[in-house]
Chains A and B, each alone.
Chain A
Amino acid sequence: MSVHLVNHHHGRPDSTVHRLPAALKLGVALVIIVATVLVPIHWRAWFIGVAVLLVLTAGLSQLPLFFLFRRLLVLSPFVLGVVLVNAFQPTGRDNWLTVAVKSILCLLTVILVSNTTPFSQILRVLKSIRVPALLITTIALMHRYLFVLADEVERMRRARASRTFTRGRRFHWNTLATVVGQLFIRASERAERIYDAMCARGWK
C-alpha cells in the first residue's frame, strides 16, 4: 500500500532545475498554470510554447522519463470522465480537446515543480508570502508524519491479515473500521508526545 506514497521522486538533486530557487520555480509554475487556464484554445502559440518549455525542463531535471509518463497516465478518473462526457456532446469536440490539453499541461507543470523542489523549501516560500503560521505548522507536521502513519496502516493491515482468515463481509467492514479508529487514537496519542517534545525543545 505504501508503494503509492513513493510516487514522488527527487531524481538527481544536483541538476540545474533542482538548484533553481524554489520561489522562482513556484512563481513561474503559478504564472504558467493561471495563464494556461485563462488563455482561449485558439492561441496555439501559447500552448506550444508552454509544452516546449516543459519538455526542456523535464530534460534538464534528469527525472526518469518513464516516471513522468506514469504520473501523467494516472490522471484522475475524473479527468477521463469529464472528457468522455464532453466527447459525446453533439458539438463538444473543441471543448473536450481544450479541457484535455489544459489539464495535461497544468498537471505536467505541477509534477515537474513538486519533484524538483524539496517540500521544506516550498514551506519556506509559503511562510515568506505570509501564509498563517498555524496553517504552515499543520502542513509541516502532516508532511512529516504522513509516511509514519502510512507505515503504521501497513503494519496494522499485515497484523490483521496474519490473524484473520477471510470472514463474512459484515465483519470485514467492522474490522477495517476498527483499524482506522485505532489509527486515529494512535495519531492523537502521538500528537501529545510530539507536543511534549516540541515544548522540551523550546517551541512557543
Chain B
Amino acid sequence: MSLIHFDAMRLPAHCQELRKEVRAFLEGEIAAGTFDPERPEVGEKNADEFSRRVGAKGWIGMTWPKKYGGQERSFLERYVVTEEMRIANAPVRRFFVADRQSGPTLIRYAHEKTKRDVLPRIIRGELFFCIGMSEPNSGSDLFAASTKATKTDGGWLINGTKVWTSSAHIADYMIGLFRTSGSTKENRRHGLTSFLVDMKTPGITCRPIGQMSGQRDFNEVVFQDAFIPDDHVIGEVDGAWKQATSELAYERSGPERFLETYGALLALSNAAGSKPDVRVTVGIGRLVAQLHTLRRMSVSVAGMLEAGREPVVEAAIVKDLGTVWEQGLPHRVRELASLLDLEDDEEDAFRNKLDFELKIAPKLTIQGGTTEVLRGIIARGLGLR
C-alpha cells in the first residue's frame, strides 16, 4: 500500500454557505473602513475592534467546547473562515495565534480554573497571544531552551530570555516553554514545562527587534524573577515534549501556509488584464495549478483532523511544499511581469506590492518549523529515522 495518502476531501455544502456569510461580513467591514485589503496599515489600527466583531460572529474558537463559550463547530468550518480572512487580507493577527494554537493547547492541558478564565475572553476577541519558544541559543532545537522556571511559594519564578517572539509587545498572554529541570541522559527532551504567562507580570521587559521587511513585530522578551502562579502551568511539569505533536498538525497545514504571498499573484493578475502575452498566460496557468494542488492537499489534511486522525507527516508535507511555493511566488511573478507593458503609475503600484512580498518571502520557510525540521519529520514518517 502507499506510503503517503491524501484523500480527495471536499468541503461539505454547509461550509460553502458559511463562506458566503464570512464574505458578506468582510465586505461590510471593508465598506465600513475597518480594513483595506490593499493597505494593511488601515486594518492594523482597527485590529482590536475588528477582533471583537469577529468574536461576536462566533468565529474565534468556533470549534471549542460550548462550556467555554465555543460553538463546537467542525474543523472544516474553521478552515473556511480562516481562508476567507486570509484572502481578504483582514487584520487577524490580534486573535489568530490564540485561535489556531494557544486555545487548543489550553483546552487540552490547562487547569480548569484557567480555562474558564481565559478561553471565553479569547472567544470574544479580547485576548492577544504570543508564543515563547525560541531563545538566543535555542531555535529549531527547541529542547535546548534554557530560560528557567524555579519553584517558589504558590508558583514559579522565570529568568532568562526569549527571542523572535512575534507581537510580544502588544500581547496579553504568552504560552512559553521554560526549563524546570535538567534533561536526562535517557531523554534530552525531559525537563521543559509549558506556562501561561500574563504579559503584564512585573519582571517582563519587551525590546523590539526590527525586521528586514520593515515590519516591527519581533521582540526580545527578558524575564527577571517574573512570577507565574501554579495554576498557570500547562500540562505536566517537565513533560512538555509529550504535548507538542498533535497541535503542530493544525499549525502546519492551514491555508496560511501557502497564501502568505497570494497578493503577488493578485497583483500580477490585475496588471496582466484579460488577454496578456501568451507567456504570461502560461505562467499564470501554471501557478494556479500549483496553488490549487496545495489547497486540495491542505483541505485533505483538514478532513483528516476533522476525522480525529493525527496527520503529523501529511501536515509537515503541506507546510514544506506550501511555504517553499509561497516563497518562490513573488519571484515567479516578477519574471512574468517583465513581459507586461505598464504605465508608470501602474508599475509603481505593482512594484510596491511585489517588493513587500519579496521582502517577507525569506521568513516563510523558517517560522513555525523550518524546512529542514519538516523534512526530518517527513523522513521519520517514511521510516528513515
Is chain B a partner of chain A in the same complex?
A: no
Interface residues of B, Cβ cutoff 8 Å to A: none
User: A-side interface residues toward B, CB under 8 Å?
Assistant: none
